[in-house]
Amino acid sequence: MAVTAEAVKSLRERTGAGMMECKKALVETNGDLDAAAELMRKAGLAKADKKASRIAAEGVVVIERSADAKRAAIVEVNCETDFVAREQDFQNFAANVAKVALAHAPADLEALSALSMETGASIDEARRVLIAKIGENISVRRFAILDAPAVTGAYLHGSRIGALVAMKSGDEAVAKDIAMHVAAINPARVSAAEVPADEVAKERSIFVEQAKGDPKTAGKPQEIVDKIIEGKIRKWLGEITLLGQPFVKDDKQTVEQYLKKAGGEVLAIIRYEVGAGIEKKQEDFAAEVMKQVRGQ
């Protein structure tokens, strides 16, 4: 029976095991997911099985840059609690993942997970060993690599928010300033030109509907209403784009104005925040303690 990529993916998510181990188990069990998971448990390959379904929304963001600062990697590694996020073994693992990502620039998470660390074990193998040791679900959630003609800028706010900037021109001080701004203000794009047309159209339609019910625009010529709407679009674009935002270190000028004075040009930005977009489970701590006391 042919083993599909989807089946391998499902078994990996369920067991936390490596791709080749999952594929081998599926081949041996004729594609039966339950049987494959059981086979891997018996072989000691699925130590993360019970923990894989737990929500891992805590963790760290780690940044690693090349010696010439022209390439940088940013990685988010998740765990279940902030206590483990502060644990040294967990932080060391995350730092090593970032180093491997920077060194090899893999195409995706699957390729990254298969790469070897200094110990010789793959990232995925090291992750599963750490799960067995710590007792929490751990995942490498995402990573990105930035290359820059001039320099990359990096900024970490503690270990929960990280930002990278690729500069076409400008020095390291300017790059760090921009990375700090990105971490603090979280612009969606570098410039208005990068905002997709459908997003602009959607926002325009909202402003059009607002204008219809606004007494201030009632009875005004359509060309005047159109100008008001376009003014709102420009303001919105300024608010969501890096170049249009007031500079975090001097709000009397925009980032674009700051860059012109500093001789810098930004090519790309990336911002990671731990747990962003993950639906966290609301725990009742008192109830959890009572469960433990009662032995439930």
- For 84, the enclosing helix (H) or strand (E) is helix 82-85
Question: Is 62 within a domain?
Answer: yes
Confidence label for 43 from pLDDT (cuts 50, 70 and 90): low
The per-type count for the chain, helices as H runs and strands as E runs, is: 12, 8
Q: Is residue 101 part of a domain?
A: yes
Q: What CATH number is attached to the domain comprising 37?
A: 1.10.8.10
pTM: 0.76
Is 283 among the domain residues? Answer: no
Phi and psi (nearest 5°) for 125? -65, -45
168 and 205 part of one domain: no
Enumerate residues 6+ apart whose C-beta is below 8 A from 194.
Answer: 241
Distance of alpha carbon 268 from alpha carbon 274, whole angstroms: 20
Give the list of residues 6+ apart from residue 7 with CB closer than 8 angstroms, or none.
26, 31, 33
The phi and psi torsions of 285 (rounded to 5 degrees) equal: -60, -45
pLDDT > 90? residue 293:
no
Please enumerate in sequence order all residues whose Cβ is within 8 A of that of 205, keeping only pairs 6 or more positions apart, or say none: none
Q: Is the pLDDT of residue 134 over 50?
A: yes
Note whether 162 and 271 are within 8 A (CB).
Answer: yes
Give residue 296's pLDDT. Answer: 47
Total number of domains in the chain: 4
Does some domain include residue 291? Answer: no
Does any domain span residue 86?
yes
The answer to whether residue 295 is domain-embedded is: no
Judge whether residue 139 has pLDDT over 70. Answer: yes
Q: How confident is the model at residue 37 (pLDDT cuts 50, 70, 90)?
A: confident
Q: Do 59 and 139 belong together in one domain?
A: yes
List, for residues 53-79, the tens digit of each pLDDT value.
577 789 999 999 999 999 999 999 999
Q: Look up tokens 């930005």; give the residue.
A: 269
**227 or 286, which is more confident:** 227
Give the whole-angstrom CA distance, residue 156 versus residue 163. 7
Please check whether residues 154 and 174 belong to one and the same domain: yes
**CB 82 within 8 Å of CB 141:** no
What is the domain extent for residue 119?
54-147
Residue 108 lies in a domain: yes
The rounded percent of the chain whose pLDDT value lies above 70 is: 88
Q: Same domain for 79 and 21?
A: no
pLDDT (0 to 100) of residue 284:
52
Does any domain span residue 11?
A: yes
